[in-house]
Amino acid sequence: MSTATAQPLSWPSIARLGLVQAAIGAVVVLMTSTLNRVMVVELGLAAAVPGVLVGIHFAIQILRPRMGFGSDRDGRRIRWIIGGMALTSASGLLAAVATAWMTTAPSAGLSLALVAFFLLGVGISASSTPFLAYMAERVEEQRMAGAAALTWILMIVGIIVTASIGGALLDPFSPTRLVQVAAGITGGAFLLTVFAVVGRKGSLPIHMREDENTKGAFREVLTAMWEDPQSRAFAAFIFVSMLAYSAQDIILEPFAGAVFNMTPGESTQIAAQQHAGVLIGMILGAFLAARMWTLTRWAATGCLGSAAALIGIVMLPASAPVGMLKGAVFALGFANGIFAVAAIGAMMGLTVKGRAGGAGLRMGFWGAAQAIAYGLGGLLGAVGSDIARQVLGSPAAGYGAVFTVEAVLFVAAAVLVVATVRDEGRERSRDNLLQAGKAMAAS
């Protein structure tokens, strides 16, 4: 296929396509936050019930490589995005119906909720993976960090807008109103997705690989990718770093309340400091990554900065001023933001540079590692803090132990991403030698 007519995505095009992530974020926050609260507070269910449901949708995302491979084979990524988002939106509405049904028939409603969260995992796998592969193939390398930051920020915007508007419309609460609000959110998310991708059907990739292999069976191509040291190293980096990232996210507010005696409102402000740091870190990280160093170096820097911030939080005495804790949490968010934008940008770059598998399979492979690690990290962070508090005898020591383990994981992730660069350098050296050998033979 000729790439003469292939044009890289402009910033306005990247921003419009990024609305897909905003739409996904809107449905996900409905199912994992709003419905979570309704089940626990209004319905009086154990917190473990929505916890298991959310865990199911993460576990099902092991399908991401298969979905990405499917979009590689037929080349119709836009159709995959629309179809996957249709399923994602339907799962959100179905989950709301299931939650409302629990008020009169708990067992039947819970069974329907299990189906809904299963479909959510399938829908996200089918929409998000081809979307990220599509972006990777059509964004210039120097814009990948900026594209990653922009799409992530739009996802956060989708979450914030949905939580704010949906929360306001739910009062006064009733099962019927819950279904109506969910229908509006999910329907709007699907229409936003259609708007984001309309007109993109015929655009061509700007990154083409002569050795790209999508002709074999799924298992054969996946095995070939797994045998690539660079692919394995980057998958390990994604898994380890996301374990650390997600574990801190779920216990930070409980830590502020248990150790620093903060009220729910005050601990929410702490979380806001972290998210503000993430946004600023992502914006600055994208700006700097386009001008100096490499994305993998910035990813390692973000991991090391996150580790240092976590150790700083652990070392704060319980009597420390609130401002010091806010500063440490902001620093953690800032480093997290640099890590996140660089890691996603590096993922996009390696997606179109790798030796085995198409862009969809490669993005799905790493996306599955990210989703599983995120779900597992949240669970291990919560359980680990409970166990550590019991063993060590105090909340401060318990949370401190978990934060320390997370810091170690971030350091390990930095080492792994540096190993990815080393493997890439070896592959380039080998390619240069082969090319030189061919040239000598030809002469």
> What is the C-alpha separation between 96 and 36, in angstroms, rounded?
11
End position of a domain, from candidates 197, 212, 239 = 197
pLDDT at 435: 42
Residue 5 resides in a domain: no
Q: Are residues 25 and 153 in the same domain?
A: yes
pLDDT of the chain, 443 residues: tens digit per residue: 444 456 888 999 999 999 999 999 999 989 888 888 888 878 888 877 888 898 899 999 999 999 999 998 888 899 999 999 999 999 999 999 999 999 999 999 999 999 999 999 999 999 999 999 999 888 888 888 889 889 988 988 888 888 888 878 888 889 999 999 999 999 999 999 999 999 876 556 766 554 455 567 888 888 888 888 888 888 899 999 999 998 887 778 778 888 888 776 677 677 778 888 988 999 999 888 888 888 889 999 999 999 999 999 999 988 888 889 889 999 999 999 999 999 988 888 888 776 667 888 989 998 999 999 988 887 888 788 788 878 888 888 888 898 999 999 999 999 999 887 665 544 444 443 334 344 444 44
| 158 and 230 belong to one structural domain | no
Q: Is there a single domain that holds both residue 69 and residue 187?
A: yes
DSSP state letters, 351-403: HTT-SSS-HHHHHHHHHHHHHHHHHHHHHHHHHHHHHHHHHHSSHHHHHHHHH
What pLDDT sits at residue 384? 83
> Which of 130, 162, 197 is the last residue before a domain boundary?
197
142 with 260, same domain? no
Q: Is residue 20 part of a domain?
A: yes
DSSP 192-226: HHHHHHTT-TT---S---TT---SS-HHHHHHHHH
Are 76 and 166 within one domain? Answer: yes
DSSP state of 139: S
DSSP letters for 147-197: HHHHHHHHHHHHHHHHHHHHHHHTPSP-HHHHHHHHHHHHHHHHHHHHHHH
150 and 252 part of one domain = no
What per-residue confidence (pLDDT) applies to 441? 42
Is the same domain home to 31 and 120? yes
**What's residue 425's pLDDT?**
45
pLDDT of residue 437: 43
Q: d(Cα 118, Cα 122) in Å, to the nearest integer? A: 7
Residue 308 sits in a domain whose CATH number is 1.20.1250.20
**238 and 277 part of one domain:** yes
- Whole-number pLDDT of residue 203: 57
In a domain, 100, yes or no: yes
Q: SS3 of 34, please?
A: helix
Long-range contacts of 12-15 (CB under 8 A, 24+ apart): 14/135, 14/139, 14/143, 14/146, 14/147, 14/150, 14/151, 15/150, 15/154
* All residues at 6 or more sequence positions from 130 whose CB lies less than 8 Å from its CB, including other chains: 67, 68, 71, 77, 80, 81, 84, 360
Same domain, 270 and 412: yes
Q: Which of 24, 22, 47, 25 is nearest to 36 (CA)?
A: 47
Sequence letter at residue 291? R
- Cα 68 to Cα 71: distance, rounded to the nearest angstrom: 5
* 84 inside domain: yes
171 and 235, same domain (yes or no): no
Q: Does residue 187 sit in the same domain as residue 253? A: no
Structural domain contains residue 216: no
Instruction: Please give the Cα distance from 286 to 32 (Å, whole number).
Output: 29
Q: Quick check: helix, strand or coil at residue 136?
A: helix
In-domain check, residue 380: yes
- Report yes or no on 322 lying in a domain: yes
Expressed as residue numbers, the domain containing 270 is 223-442
What is the predicted pLDDT for the residue at 202? 52
How many domains are there within the chain? 2
DSSP letter string, 35-51: HHHIIIIIS---THHHH
- Residue 107 domain-assigned? yes
Helix/strand/coil for 6: coil
Q: Which domain-ending residue is among 180, 197, 214?
A: 197
272 shares its domain with 421: yes
**Distances in Å between the alpha carbon of 273 and those of 11, 241, 322, 420?**
28, 21, 12, 32
